[in-house]
Structure 1
Amino acid sequence: MSRMALTGIAAGTDLVISYQGGAGISAWLEDANKHWPYILRLSADPERQVITIPCSALSGFMTQHPGHRFKLSLSADNRRLAYAVSPGIFPMKTAGVQIEAEDGIAVFSGSGEARDFQAAAPRINSGNFEIGRGQAGTFADIDRLPVSTLVIGSCFGRSIFRSDAYFNPGYKKYFRVARTVFHNSLISLFSEKTACDFRKYPDLVSGDAGKYIEPEFRKNLDEILDQENIQLLVIDNYMDAAVPVIRFRENSFFTYSKYFAESVFKRFFASCPAVFPGTPEHAELFRKSAAGLRRLLDAYHVKNVVLIGGRLSRYLTDEDTGEISAWDGKMDWINAVNAAWDTADGIFLKEFPGAFYLDMRNTRWKSDLRSPIIGGASPSHYQSGYYRELFRQLARLTGKAVPAAEGSSGEGAAP
């Protein structure tokens, strides 16, 4: 990784930060908490080697996001650029904004108290929703196993189809996962394509981002269905309950997933409005997108749809000790996401009244302190039995006998 130094700072009507050792850099402020989609694009002059921030713009930006802390971020050649703040530059205060060096990074802090974006957003009444076929019946037109399956969603759906001992070692007898579309909002998938070569950004073509980011740009569910003989769609609405979408163009959206939250590409989201789950605008966009998915599946004769009715867990368990604890400090977020998830599932089932709904809203299973899923312990990562129970429900829908040993597990802790 390239490295440079911030060497000086001056404030007047503009805040001017000098640097050395960088060429052709881009600069922006991003929320110190990567999950908040708030970004201010800055002007960098490679000849003078200065970054200029109008104090009025800085003050206005910080006022819009009270209580938030923003770090100065830099990139060169579309790669994140490391830098170090020279001694004696910070701390300082200008335009009502405190600027300090933390672990060598410039951090900007305003006044006020930060609010959870979902708690602050206008809410809609999620209410109750009708479940269509639910657990009744079996899949249509399935005459042999394994069933060719498309998964759209998150670890709530995809982790059912893992052969690790913790999950479902025998799932491949029943299901063949032809393709996984991972961590994408339906709103993004059914919006207009964006003319951008994402392959120019190393952090979007490496690791998990490299596996899953393509549909965000190509919006190519139709191509996937055209290439694969899909018999079953398994989908969960976690992403449309938990993360906002970025309106990049009038009718083009990006999911603010962890891949964008960690990428230098996020600098292009500056000045782009975010639409948050649980709001009327998000609900209407989601309804249109679910309708678009229904039309697309009809066109490719996909008759079997399973919606995973997952929710974030309010409790964490240590299976080695049997200790159970609440997710203290995260309960407001958990409740907000679960309410938005109710809304999304209700909208989806109205568009897909024939979908099978695997209702795990009140499951006895809890978050696992030692979850093997990337990210470890989380309200979204459950005990082994959760994924095994879902697998057994899915496998029964094939109409084939499910041996007790397939995906079997203990009873789990009492709720």
Structure 2
Amino acid sequence: MEANITSIEFSQGELLIKGKTNVELEPSASFWLRKRDEEFETYEWKQYPVRAAFREHGFELKCAAQDLGFVMDRNLEDKAVWDFFLYQNNRYIPLKMEGGVSVPNQSFPVLHPLYKVWPYVAKTKGLSLYVVQVKMKALLVKEQFNNGVYEVEVDLKAGSAVPFHHFKTCLVLRRREQMGFFEYYEEKTVNVHYKNNLFTVSVDLRRLFNDDELKDEEICWDLFIGLIDGPNMIYLPISQTNKIQECTTDYVLNDLYKVKPLFTHDIKSLYIRPITIHAQLVECKVQDNLVRFKGTYHSNEMEDPTFENGQLHFVLKKRTHLNKQIAFTIERVEKVMVNQRQFNGSFDIAHLLGEEHIKDNDVWDMFIRFSANNQRVDSHLSPDFSLNFNVPYETFRSNPQFLVKPYVNVKRKFSVLVRDAKRAPRPVMVAVIGSCYCRSAFNSTSYFNPDYKEYYNCVYTQFHSSVISLMSQPVPLDQSKMENLNDKQKEFIKCDFDKKVFERLSLANPEYVLIDFFADAARNLIKINDQSYISNSHILAETALEQELITSNENIISHKNNEQYFELWKEAADQFIDRILTIIPQERIILNLGGFNDRYYDAEGKVVLFREYRQQIIRRNNYLWDRLNQYFISKLPKLKIIDLRTRNFIGHYNHPLGLSPAHYESDYYKEFLKELNDILFKDLIVNRK
């Protein structure tokens, strides 16, 4: 059955609809309107209250303003759509527009001072009523904050005349469920005054927000003018005008919280946050699930950040996620002793979590809670710069099926990790033949990858050695000339001299070998004789050995003639490949393509180019490095590759090893580990098949 509209006329506030059907209409036929609710795919039906005129195959329907009150009866929204249907024989038939028929661009006379109703044609060519709120704005024209009292003046504007002063109005503060999630489940209302065509309000925020509502989290309360219309509240977000001078400072709300008025997404908000208190551990010892710790605290936002016993507690919070943001659902609390901004305490993991339903990969974050006058602030514990913390897993006493350990997470904060004893990963054993391009990814300081030891064990490193040197004959070493080096540096020099890289690699028995050619692309070689070479690394340059080995310019092989260098390197690379394949298959060799960056972030976050004299060296070295990579890949077509050259990573002035074209921003090393994870995951899938 079809019901088509043949004409529509708007006259004296009435909409006259004429149409035809392809079947005979019965006397019981009627017209209905259906309100769409596309979010939940549910509908609300209303029978049109006025009888229509039906002929054998035609109909006439008059829509007058007084008959459409039901579209305003309850649950008013910004907008709503009601679709017309003809009802007959238990079927709803949508009214469709015939070709050439148009809808008058005219709204019905006023049904409600804040809404208009328009007839319109939907995409389906069906006739609908579009109920839309009159365009209104609540514009902030003045604000000030004084001794906890927040005062605002708001001007209400509308696209047509709206008698705002006839409505009961209020200021509505609506609490965002999350900082970036504009969903509201809680609100507060404050009376406003209408004066000189402006709505004014003054509210003491210290009284408005009870201490119990400040739950150690940053929150936003968005500001609206509420127009109360019977059972309905119409919310007009308070937006900004160009004339307003914003409050740009944080104001003290109470002992432990601050408030700042701001605009976010064109809505005036009150941003409330706990003051920042830094709590750091200088000592942390773990034995049989018992954690003993000592720490200090300080705050730049308190005149006298001194707390007494009873005001500090240790808190362990179970981490979860809501809408991709970290949230905490459960907490366990222990007392802490305080003495002049220092604290100490202990907690038993088995005791605190003994009655919890724990599972693999549960994370509990460690906090110190500061309390004052029924207010509280929780500070996520971090390690002091001097504390190098890394402990093994222990069996969870309350449930031996699990392992537990405190650790420092990627944000350099303390947490407790729970692992299923049967599923806890054995770290993958990797070896590095190369430089910081590979090795720095396996560094547990915060700039690099603090938790890498959960997944990887770097069992061997051959550092800053040229392939040419490694494949040459051994050179005697006078170790007394290395007294200024630490043990690791001495070992690196020793390995470059004795050339026993493959013996050590075989004993380490890695599952993967990571290689980069930094030393070949950038560092000079020292030629001892036709059979022996030494890598002129920056470590060797710190010793008296270098000057003894360099007898003249003739025994320095530099990069001034890279064609000569490349020919010598290819011969050594072929030997290197033959030897390493006797230890590990090429599918388990991972080549980091590497490359030098030509710019860096300075202390102000600006991107700065390295000086021009270094740019030419960078281009020259990158050109050679690419040639080395290509040759190596051509010989080992099944090796794996990590290539971060196109990711736009650059250097950083605050790199722990110093500013250099070879040292990258922190995210480079984290991304390197992600790439390595992907390679291992793909290998796991292939092996499972």
* TM > 0.5 fold call: yes
Match of 1:159 in 2: 440
Partner-residue secondary structure (3-state), 2:461? strand
TM-score, length-normalised on structure 2?
0.35
Higher relative contact order (CA 8 A, sep 6+): 1
Q: Residue 276 of structure 1 is aligned with which of 547, 558, 570?
A: 558
Moved more, 393-402 or 267-276: 393-402
- Report how far residue 401 of structure 1 moved: 12
Match of 2:180 in 1: none
1:224 partnered with 2:498: no
Partner-residue secondary structure (3-state), 2:458? strand
Asked whether the 8 Å contact 1:159–1:387 carries over to 2, the reply is yes
Match of 2:655 in 1: 371
Distance 1:162 1:314, change over 3 A: same
AA paired with 2:575? G
Structure 1 alignment gaps of length 5 or more: 1-143, 403-415
Counterpart-to-counterpart distance in 1, 2:508 and 2:478: 24
Counterpart-to-counterpart distance in 1, 2:479 and 2:638: 39
- Report how far residue 241 of structure 1 moved: 0.5
Aligned residue pair count: 255
Counterpart-to-counterpart distance in 2, 1:334 and 1:346: 18
Match of 1:235 in 2: 515
Identity rate, percent: 27
Distance 1:346 1:401, change over 3 A: closer
Distance 1:388 1:206, change over 3 A: closer
1:91-106 equivalent positions in 2, closer than 5 A: none
Distance 1:379 1:205, change over 3 A: closer
Q: Residue 449 of structure 2 is aligned with which of 159, 168, 183?
A: 168
Q: Residue 340 of structure 1 is aligned with which of 616, 620, 624?
A: 624
Asked whether the 8 Å contact 1:204–1:213 carries over to 2, the reply is no
AA paired with 2:596? L
Higher helix share: 1
Deviations 1:192-214 (A, max 9, x none): 112x1331313475465313111
Q: Residue 209 of structure 1 is aligned with which of 489, 497, 505?
A: 489
1:245 partnered with 2:528: no
Counterpart-to-counterpart distance in 1, 2:483 and 2:596: 28
- Report how far residue 365 of structure 1 moved: 1.2
Asked whether the 8 Å contact 2:526–2:549 carries over to 1, the reply is no
Q: Residue 382 of structure 1 is aligned with which of 660, 664, 677?
A: 664
Distance 1:296 1:204, change over 3 A: farther
AA paired with 1:347? Y
1:193 partnered with 2:193: no
AA paired with 2:439? R
Q: Residue 591 of structure 2 is aligned with which of 307, 324, 327?
A: 307
Asked whether the 8 Å contact 2:596–2:662 carries over to 1, the reply is yes
TM-score, length-normalised on structure 1?
0.58
- Report how far residue 292 of structure 1 moved: 1.9
Distance 1:296 1:145, change over 3 A: farther
Asked whether the 8 Å contact 2:430–2:513 carries over to 1, the reply is yes
Counterpart-to-counterpart distance in 1, 2:485 and 2:604: 41
Match of 1:181 in 2: 462
Counterpart-to-counterpart distance in 2, 1:185 and 1:204: 23
Asked whether the 8 Å contact 2:460–2:505 carries over to 1, the reply is no
Asked whether the 8 Å contact 2:590–2:640 carries over to 1, the reply is yes
Counterpart-to-counterpart distance in 2, 1:153 and 1:260: 15
Distance 1:187 1:205, change over 3 A: same
Q: Residue 680 of structure 2 is aligned with which of 375, 380, 398?
A: 398
Moved more, 157-166 or 201-210: 201-210
Partner-residue secondary structure (3-state), 2:581? helix
Q: Residue 287 of structure 1 is aligned with which of 567, 570, 576?
A: 570
Deviations 1:374-406 (A, max 9, x none): xx111111111111111000011111799xxxx
Distance 1:160 1:174, change over 3 A: same
Deviations 1:333-388 (A, max 9, x none): 11111111112111221222112121122331110011112xx1111111111111
Deviations 1:105-162 (A, max 9, x none): xxxxxxxxxxxxxxxxxxxxxxxxxxxxxxxxxxxxxxx7422111011111111111
AA paired with 1:245? L
Deviations 1:11-42 (A, max 9, x none): xxxxxxxxxxxxxxxxxxxxxxxxxxxxxxxx
Deviations 1:87-122 (A, max 9, x none): xxxxxxxxxxxxxxxxxxxxxxxxxxxxxxxxxxxx
Partner-residue secondary structure (3-state), 2:676? helix
Partner-residue secondary structure (3-state), 2:473? coil
Distance 1:400 1:162, change over 3 A: farther
Deviations 1:241-285 (A, max 9, x none): 001111111111011111222322222321352223462222122
AA paired with 2:558? F
Counterpart-to-counterpart distance in 2, 1:174 and 1:159: 15
Asked whether the 8 Å contact 2:651–2:660 carries over to 1, the reply is yes
Partner-residue secondary structure (3-state), 1:362? coil
Asked whether the 8 Å contact 1:204–1:259 carries over to 2, the reply is no
AA paired with 1:209? Q
Match of 1:74 in 2: none
1:90-169 equivalent positions in 2, closer than 5 A: 145-169=426-450
Counterpart-to-counterpart distance in 2, 1:321 and 1:193: 48
Larger radius of gyration: 2
Asked whether the 8 Å contact 2:482–2:544 carries over to 1, the reply is no
Counterpart-to-counterpart distance in 1, 2:499 and 2:683: 38
Asked whether the 8 Å contact 2:449–2:670 carries over to 1, the reply is yes
Deviations 1:173-224 (A, max 9, x none): 3221001111111110111112x13313134754653131111111001211
Match of 1:23 in 2: none
Counterpart-to-counterpart distance in 2, 1:235 and 1:204: 28
AA paired with 1:354? K
Match of 1:49 in 2: none
Distance 1:366 1:174, change over 3 A: same
Counterpart-to-counterpart distance in 2, 1:222 and 1:208: 18
Counterpart-to-counterpart distance in 2, 1:155 and 1:300: 23
The RMSD of aligned alpha carbons is 2.2
Distance 1:208 1:218, change over 3 A: same
Asked whether the 8 Å contact 1:236–1:309 carries over to 2, the reply is yes
